[in-house]
Structure formats: C-alpha cells, structure tokens
A and B are shown apart, each in its own frame.
Chain A
Amino acid sequence: MGITRTPTSLTQSEATRGGIGESTLRPDGTLKVTGEFAYSSDLWHEDMLWGYTLRSTVAHATIASIDTGEALATPGVYAVLTYDDLPTEVKHYGLEIRDTPVLAHGKVRHHGEPVALVAADHPETARRAAAKIRVVYEPLPVITDEASATAPDAVLVHDGREDHHIGHVAHPNIVHRQPILRGDADRAAARADVVVSGEYVFGMQDQAFLGPESGLAVPAEDGGVDLYVATQWLHSDLRQIAPVLGLPERKVRMTLSGVGGAFGGREDLSMQIHGCLLALRTGKPVKIVYNRFESFFGHVHRHPARLWYEHGATRDGKLTHVRCRIVLDGGAYASASPAVVGNAASLSIGPYVVDDVDIEALALYTNNPPCGAMRGFGAVQACFAYEAQMDKVAARLGMDPVEFRQINAMEQGTVMPTGQLVDSPAPVAELLRRVKSRPLPPERQWETTEGADVRALPGGLSNTTHGEGVVRGVGYAVGIKNVGFSEGFDDYSTARVRMQVINGEPVATVHTAMAEVGQGGVTVHAQIARSELGVTQVTILPADTRVGSAGSTSASRQTYMTGGAVKNTCEAVREKVFDLGRRKFGTYHPAWATAELLLEGGRVVTDGGEALAEIADVLEDEVVDLELEFRHRPTQAFDLRTGQGNGHVQYSFAAHRAVVEVDTELGLVKVVELACAQDVGKALNPLSVVGQIQGGTTQGLGVAVMEEIVVDPKTALVRNPSFTDYLIPTILDTPTIPVDVLELADEHAPYGLRGVGEAPTLSSTPAVLAAIRQATGLELNRTPVRPEHLTGS
C-alpha cells in the first residue's frame, strides 16, 4: 500500500451550475464536512517515519558544540541531521534574500531556530531523541529594537551581507529602507492651522492558521523526491528547496495537500526542506507535523512596528501635509521584509489626498522572531496609526471624524505619494457614508426580559458585570491596500485548460498550481470555466508543479491572477473550438464566419442567440488542451531616494464602523458590531466575498483587543507560544459583521474585479480602537489594547 489521503480532483456537474457572479457552492465543501478532505497533516504512508525539529532555546548565541550521539543510538531513530549533513554548498534559503540557514550553522539568531532534525518510527520517539541532542550555546548580546540594532557598536545579526539592499541602508542591521518624498512638507506645514503628532506601537500578530505546518516527503526511485505539503506558492518553494537538496527542479515533484488556512504564514518554507532531507537520507517516506507550540516558531509573524506621524490641516479640514516614520521589526531573517517596507511606505498616508509628504519606512534585523507576510502586509500597521491621527486632527478641528475623512478622501484621478495616478474607482467617501448610515445596534443590547444576557456584555460568561460601569463607543476607519505583487515584480499566473467530450458531454478540466488555502479559488475557477466554456461539468485537478507557476495565494491576488489566467486560457480554448466548428460546419451556415460566437449551454451560439452546433459535435474525439500564462500590467520599482514610481497594480478599499461596550472598571471590551463596506469591483462569488470580508474583519478585531506574541525585551524569548496564552477571537468575542459590498468595475482587471482578501483586515483594527477611545476618552496609542491600558493599573 502506498500513500493514502493524497489530494483528489474536484468535479462539479449537474448539481452545481452557476457561473461568475453566482454564489455557487465549494467543490470541496462536501469533502470538508465529512472529514474526508485530505489535509497535509492527514497524509499516511505504510512505512513512513516521523520527523522532528530540534529548535534553539536561546535567541542569539554561538553554537560551541552539538552532540547527537545519544539521540542516534536511541532505538527507533533512523537519522539525526545537523548543518554538517547538508548535501550541497547551498545551505540557505529565503523568499527574496537567501539568508536563512536550513539548519543553524555556528550560530542561532532567534528563539526556536531549527538546529537539528530527527527521523524515527514514532513521533514521540523522535521528540525524545531530539531532547537527547546536546547543544552548547555561548550567549551573544541580544538585538531587540531600533536602538540596539543601529548602535554604532551593535553586533551584526548578519555578517558580510551581499544582498541588493545593503548599499542603501545606513546600518547592516537595517534590511531595507524606503523613503517617499513628494511636494514640500516643510512649506505645506507652514499653511497648517493645526498640527497633530503621535507615536504608535503595533504588537506582533500571528497568522494562527489552524492547520499546522505539515507534509510528507517520499523518496523516489529516480533519486528525486515527491513532496506533499500545505503551502501558499508551490513554485516558490520548489525554487528554494531543489538547490539545497542538490536536485534539479524536475526531480522535486510537489503536490498541494489540503491547506488549513495560511494568511501569509505559509509563504516562507517550514518543514519542506527538512522533510525531504530526512526522506532522502533514510530512503523512507517522512511525515512532519508541527504541534501548536512549534507552529508559533515554525512560521514568520506580522511585523510589530513603531510609527511616528505628523499631520497638518487647515481650519476648513483640508490636510496640508503628512510626515511619518515607520520602523518595522523584521526579526532575525529577511523573509518578506523588503516588500513589507515598500507597502508600508507607499500606503502610509492612507486613502487620502495629500500633496506634500515626507515618508520613511524601514525594517530591522533583530534577534526577535522573524517577521514576514501576513494578511494586509505593511498596510495594516500604517492604517492603525494614520487612522488614529485622522481622529485626532478631526477632534482638534472640532469636526466630525467621518466628514473630515470624506473631505480628504481620495478618488479616481488622485495621485498617490509615489506619483502613481489612481486610474480606477476609489469610492472612499462612499464606503464611509455607507457604514455611517447604517442604524446603530440598540443601546443596552444585552438586556432581555429575563435580565442581562452576560454573553452580550464585556467579560461574557465570566459574569463580571450586568451593565454597571459599561459605556459605549463608536469608531470609524478606512484603509487602502495594494492588490498583486508590486514594485516591478514579474507577477504572472499559469492555467491549463482542457476541453473534451466524455460520454457525449463536453467536459472542462482546469489545472493550475494555485494554492487553495480556504479562500475559494477552486470554486471561482469552476465558475469561470462554466461561464467561458458553456459547460456544466468541470473538473479541477489538484495543484502541483507539473503545471506552470500560479504565483502566491497572497496579496489579494489569486482571483485576479489565477482567475485571470483561467479566463484567459478558457478564451483561447474557446477560439480553438470555434476554429474546429468553422472547419466542420462553416460551409453550412454563414453565421460561423460573420457572427460573434459564444459557448452556452453546451452549444456554440451566436450573440443573437442562434444555436449553431453542439460542442460535443464540434469536438467529437478532438481534445483542446492549452497552458497559458497571464500577467497584470507591469509595475515599476520605487525610486530609492524619492519613492516615486508606478509601483502598484490595483488598490482595494474597505471601511469599518465599530460599536464597542467597555467595562471601564475592569478594562474589558465587548465589540458589539463591526460593520464593513468594501468595493470589490465584481463579486465573482458573493457568498465567498462576504466570507472573506467577515474573516478579515475578525483578524483585525483580534489584533485590536487580544492577539499579541509577547517577546521578552531582555532575552528575545517568546513567552506565549500556545492558544492558551495567544488568544484569537472565539465566536463569543466576535460580533455581528454586517457587510455592504460595492461593485465598481476596474476596467483593467478580469471581469472588473478587485482583490478582496486583505482590505477588511486593515480598517477593522483602527475602527475598534477609535470606538474604545470614544468610550473611554483614553489616548490608546498601542494595539492590542489590554485591560491595564483601560484601567490605568
């Protein structure tokens, strides 16, 4: 018996018909509710071993020695690997900068860094053997913040940097710095009637996807390896894995297993190389599954940030200028830090018109946990700060905070601080109007005929109040996020579409390498194929590396990019079908040559609705099979000195109104309602769109009032790597989330759509903070807000 629970094709036929714009159901829905859907942690092979990773217990140290003898001698252990066992000269990997050791070499740079690997016949045997590996650490000074990182005599986190950012940073412990200068902020400031400044702190958030990092590596007879894994971008993984193994990419065959959420946390490698190394060393299949404790060390987090802002405005409510400085803590390895810097800088002033800006964003190397991609990617931290500033300026002017935002709201035709013209709808003022005009939830909403329902009060089932000391606040925020990969990156996606007749029915098969991580890309691909090809039966093949890259499931880009690729390839397939039809039937009917042709209901029809032929009769035994790449409009790098450049493809906008109730005596917050309005261009699947908005909103709520990875500032050790101590919102913490979806088409995008996934994560957090500020009168310059910030004790 070989591998069980590998991914299978998803087929939809008669029961699910809808094309784009309809809320068709997920093709994997039934598998997911019966427990049959195969996630990467569910894989099983008859003679498989279990891999385990020994991780550093200190944040910064040289490794004096590693003794694996006792571990290797443990019965049931098949292999123990350290840096010295790596098979080639390539011993590092990384998304952009190859600075991350596969296994620590002479030094560890953060708490939880992989040091050694064990393969054994039982997971507990592997864990216990790993505990017998003796590592002697000699402590180094710990770099934890900007001051310690950029001190003249600071220890360098990475010696001898050769990456392409080192030439433009002031200190080797700065990964990347992006200034943006436009207009003349000094001169504009002189026009300001009010100037408001503030310093803000954004805590470290974890993606907290529920499916742990996991996968199965199976050694193959050709000396290669088959890897089944949960990831966001198969081909990016492949590019990093193969050189370390010393294998050509064609011998590392990757297949996407079921992915239990991602949110950016699977953009970097976790167990991929480790599993392959153990499989190739032992000649046996190796499964690695992190537990939750390890997962907190097994992926990068959202960059914590310190942000300084100065806003000026005239008495009539027009912004004069913005100055800001954003310092992101990238932790020990670069991961996506450079791109996060680019986003933070270019989106730092929010969706507002400001002609005169002086902006600086940078990311540090420190010995804190590595940080990289998470939903919202640099735009989240900035939005928290600029929206707090917007409220402060409005208050100083004595203006309504929503009206003040609307006065300054960008629109189509606005020029960004980067000089880029916004050339598609930007309904910022309208989104704010929509959330504001919604009726407020009733006061004292917790009251029932039988007394207070504590579940609706701060403190909840802890039964800490029946309404005493509880005050309400309402807050607003709006944000701007880029869609797709920016700054000149060659962002493309590939789709292969096959059309053939099976049992007399035309059938479409769609094959992409898109990582379905829960967002519903597979649903949308089937909808697109049905719409473009006029078929009812569509099969979605498992994502793997036998087809070209789909790019990452991140940056709100997959419906735009791989959806666009599927559309694009379907259109080409359709033309082939028409060509076949013209050759076969063209002489019988002039419309084949003269009319606009469509595929609908299994037939070739004219745009006038006349049926010309059954697709099945056109195709007969022919198979039309095409694999094509799709690209969005090219972008440009930002100038390293001025930040000018058409860096982004598309922008996406969401606004929130938060209603909170705060128990001011205990510092407990109940978010009562979190309404969202978002422009999505075109909702290809309205049910999924609303689900994305509600999910993103909730992650923003989490980092407003509960979620933070706490890192000891003296030791850089992570203090709460568990769901006991790192809290994410439960169904009791999460309020009603009414959603208002606008569809203003972007003419540059497939179907006019606008990426959806990230924008709601931006404005949710500052809206909640604004509401808490309104309820309490406190300044609250950091997120998440903890009870002690509200009680002052």
Chain B
Amino acid sequence: MRVSFTVNGRPQEADDVWEGESLLYVLRERLGLPGSKNACEQGECGSCTVRLDGVPVCSCLVAAGQAQDRRVDTVEGLAGEGGELSPIQQAFVDAGAVQCGFCTPGLLVAADELLEHNPSPSDGDIREALSGNLCRCTGYEKILDAVRLAAARTGQAV
C-alpha cells in the first residue's frame, strides 16, 4: 500500500508498504530517517518516541497506515533549518546526558514535549514525563540535569 503523511513539516510518501509495517519501520527503512530507534519494538523502552499530531507515541506500536494524512515529528526535526541545536538538544550535549545515545532521540522528543506544556517542571514532573523512556547507560542523573538546564536556559531567554 501507499502511505502519505507529513514528517517534520514535509510531505512524505512511502510505496509498497506491507500492512504489518510499523510507523517506526517506515521512518527508518523507507524514508531514510533512522533517528528514531528500535531498542525493543514492543512499546516498553521509548527509544522510538515520535509525536503523532503533537502527541508522543511509541512509533513501533503505530501501524504505518495509521499515520496516513497525519503529522509526524521526529528527532530529526528538532534542530533548526540551519542545523543549530534546539535548547533541549544542546542541554543533553552540555550536561553529559548522552553516553551510547541510543535512548537519546526518544528522550529528546519526550522532553521537548514536556517543556512545551510545562516550561519549568519539578524533578517529579520530569521523572514522570520521562518514565516511559529507558536509559541503560547514565543512571538518569545527567538526563535530569539536561532537562533542568534546558528549562532554565529557555526561561532566561523569555
């Protein structure tokens, strides 16, 4: 089948999609957007988190066909047109929140969404918002630091 949807603001189309393919598979293998990761493919780890019409979802659990005519935002869409990092991306780099980095894209999408509706989250809020994203390297402390840092920098800029 053919699936058409908007990815990071650009219309995209994938042909010959098998009905069982996930949105994650189509992004990674058919549209050349492997930033969203495939750590568990069972909706437990959050590494494939994208936003579907603005709402964070595990793209491994979304059938590609469900994305038809909808808006998908992935980690590849976070940076600016000129490649400048978004505040949450820069904060992850600066705070040492990236080790192997496999969980990072999903965490960035989830954290970006958190800061969008809650610009100054408490630690409890951050933990709750990111509780669907597993990280095996960092012990999460630097991830908390990164979200706090992004919130502080964004707050100062306002």
> Which single member of B20, B38, B98, B100 contacts A41 (CB below 8 Å)?
B38
Contact of A697 among B93, B98, B139 (CB under 8 A): B139
In the assembled complex, A263 has its CB within 8 A of some CB on chain B: yes
A32 in the interface, Cβ–Cβ < 8 Å? yes
Residue in contact with B39 in the complex, picked from A4, A38, A210, A696, CB distance below 8 Å: A210
Check: A461 CB closer than 8 A to any chain B CB: yes
Chain A CB within 8 A of B108 CB: yes
Residue interface mask B114-150, A partner, CB < 8 A = 1: 0000000000101110111111111111111000000
- A259 CA to B143 CA, complexed, in Å: 19
Q: Residue A34 contacts which of B21, B85, B142, B144 (CB distance < 8 angstroms)?
A: B85
Q: Is A453 an interface residue (CB 8 A)?
A: yes
Taking a contact as CB atoms under 8 Å apart, the answer to whether B99 and A259 are in contact is no
A35, closest chain B residue (CB): B35
Asked if A37 is at the interface of the complex by the 8 Å CB criterion, the answer is yes
Task: Name the interface residues of A1-38: CB closer than 8 Å to any CB of B.
Answer: 4-5, 23, 25-26, 28-30, 32-38
Q: Is the CB of A724 within 8 A of B42?
A: yes
A736 within 8 A of B: yes
Report the tally of A-B residue pairs with Cβ distances under 8 A: 189
Check A212/B38 contact, CB under 8 A, given A456-B124, A730-B131.
yes
User: Closest residue of chain A to B46, judged by CB?
Assistant: A730
Question: Which single member of B34, B47, B139 contacts A210 (CB below 8 Å)?
Answer: B47
Q: Tell me whether B89 and A33 are in contact (CB under 8 A).
A: yes
**Does A751 sit within 8 A of B, measured CB to CB?**
no
> Please, which residue of chain A has its CB at the minimum distance from the CB of B35?
A35
**In the complex, A722→B44 CA distance in Å?**
9
Tell whether A261 pairs with B76 under 8 Å between CB atoms, given A25-B94, A731-B144: no
Once the chains are docked, how many angstroms separate the CA of A44 from the CA of B104? 21
Give how many B residues have a beta carbon under 8 Å from the other chain's beta carbons.
60
Check A289/B38 contact, CB under 8 A, given A35-B74, A210-B134, A734-B140: yes
Q: Which residues of B contact A39 (CB under 8 A)?
A: 34, 37, 102
Shortest A441–chain B CB gap in Å is: 13
- Docked Cα-Cα span, A554 to B91, in Å, equals 29
A736 to B126, CA, bound (A): 13
Instruction: State A252–B79 Cα separation when bound (angstroms).
Output: 38
Q: Is A687 at the interface (CB under 8 A from chain B)?
A: yes
A34 partner residues in chain B, CB cutoff 8 A? 35, 75-76, 78-79, 83, 85, 89
Let me know if A292 and B75 touch, CB within 8 A. no
**In whole Å, how far is A339's beta carbon from the nearest beta carbon of chain B?**
23
What mask results when residues 43 to 54 of chain B are scored 1 for a CB within 8 Å of chain A, else 0? 011010000000
Q: Answer whether A691 and B136 are a contact pair too, CB < 8 Å, given A35-B36, A260-B37, A722-B42.
A: no
- In the complex, whether A359 has a CB less than 8 A from a CB of chain B is no
Question: Across the interface, which residues of A come within 8 angstroms of B74, CB to CB?
Answer: 35
Residues in A neighbouring B101, C-beta threshold 8 A: 28, 32-33, 37, 258, 260, 518
Nearest chain A CB to B43 CB, angstrom units? 8
B127 pairs with A732, CB closer than 8 A: yes
A26 adjacent to B98 (CB under 8 Å): yes
- Tell me, rounded to whole Å, the shortest Cβ–Cβ distance linking B14 to chain A: 14
Instruction: Decide: B137 and A691 in contact? CB cutoff 8 A.
Output: yes
In the complex, B71 has a CB within 8 A of chain A: no
Q: Contact between B85 and A260 (Cβ–Cβ < 8 Å)?
A: no
Whether B104 and A211, one on each chain, are in contact in the complex, defined by CB atoms closer than 8 angstroms, is no
Residues of chain A within 8 A (CB-CB) of B44 are 292, 722-724
Q: Which of A33, A36, A688, A698 contacts B139 (CB 8 A)?
A: A698
Q: What residues of chain B have their CB less than 8 Å away from a CB belonging to chain A?
A: 18, 20-21, 28-29, 32-42, 44-45, 47, 74-76, 78-79, 83, 85, 89-90, 92-94, 96, 98-105, 108, 124, 126-128, 130-144
19 contacts between A and B (CB under 8 A): A33-B75, A33-B104, A34-B79, A34-B83, A44-B32, A210-B102, A260-B100, A289-B38, A291-B42, A455-B124, A517-B100, A687-B142, A690-B141, A698-B139, A723-B134, A730-B133, A731-B133, A734-B140, A734-B141
A residues near B, CB below 8 A?
4-5, 23, 25-26, 28-30, 32-39, 41-42, 44, 122, 124, 207-212, 258-263, 289, 291-293, 453, 455-456, 461, 517-520, 687-688, 690-691, 694-699, 722-724, 728, 730-732, 734, 736-737
